[in-house]
């Protein structure tokens, strides 16, 4: 129903944003990854949306990228996964690392995300592996090396940070900053070291 909204950011919090479009204020539920990319209040911007409708609920979700929205929708298609868990995934692990974890069957990384236990991680792998492989934005293509190397490094770094006691969202933000200046040839150890500097 709603593809995107283009308007002025009124207010935002780690889980929501209010966008004014032609005098109407829209409340959007957003993942932490999107919140971190929102502009300052008063600035104009465009945000992608997903209109979620159930018998007892109507909500509008906002996303900074097509990849985030695609993954959110894909997660909603998994049995026993609702919007709350889907948002937790987006806030706890980069989309590329999640796709890599699904492709490689990395239950440990997936179950490190809040709201996902071992059984849910196994179900995600079972239900999403084939879909992610052929997805134009998330997929790695059938027969290719899972996570394309770089994404596997990201997954390894996130797992290492979890073992050190860092929270998933905190780890993901630091990793994103480290990846901005990372050399594709860096080994996992170097990427972990640079990520720790960002914490």
Residue 118: both structure tokens together: 């071992």
CATH domain 67-197 topology: DNA polymerase; domain 1 (1.10.150)
Residue ranges covered by each domain of the chain: 4-64, 67-197
Question: Please, what CATH class does the domain formed by 4-64 belong to?
Answer: mainly beta
* Residue closest to 97 by CA, chosen among 161, 49, 38, 35: 161
pLDDT in tens, 105-125: 888 888 888 788 899 999 999
What mean pLDDT is reported for the chain?
85
Which of 33-47, 119-133, 143-157, 177-191 shows the lowest per-residue confidence on average (mean pLDDT)?
Answer: 143-157
pLDDT in tens, 41-66: 999 999 999 999 988 889 999 999 99
């Amino acid at each position: 129903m709603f593809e995107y909204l283009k308007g002025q950011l009124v207010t935002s919090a780690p889980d929501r944003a209010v966008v004014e479009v032609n005098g109407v204020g829209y409340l959007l539920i957003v993942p932490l990854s999107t919140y971190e990319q929102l502009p300052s209040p008063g600035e104009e911007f465009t945000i992608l949306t997903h209109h979620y409708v159930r018998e007892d609920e109507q909500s509008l979700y906002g996303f900074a990228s097509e990849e985030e929205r695609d993954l959110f929708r894909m997660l909603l298609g998994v049995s026993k996964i609702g919007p709350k868990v889907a948002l937790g995934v987006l806030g706890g692990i980069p989309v590329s690392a999640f796709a890599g974890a699904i492709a490689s069957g990395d239950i440990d990384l997936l179950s490190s995300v809040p709201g996902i236990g071992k059984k849910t991680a196994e179900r995600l792998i079972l239900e999403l592996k084939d879909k992610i492989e052929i997805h134009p934005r998330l997929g790695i293509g059938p027969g290719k090396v899972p996570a394309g190397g770089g994404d596997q490094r990201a997954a390894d770094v996130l797992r290492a940070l979890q073992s050190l006691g860092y929270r998933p969202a905190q780890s993901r933000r630091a990793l994103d900053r480290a990846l901005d200046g990372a050399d594709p040839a860096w080994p996992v150890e170097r990427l972990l070291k640079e990520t720790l500097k960002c914490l």
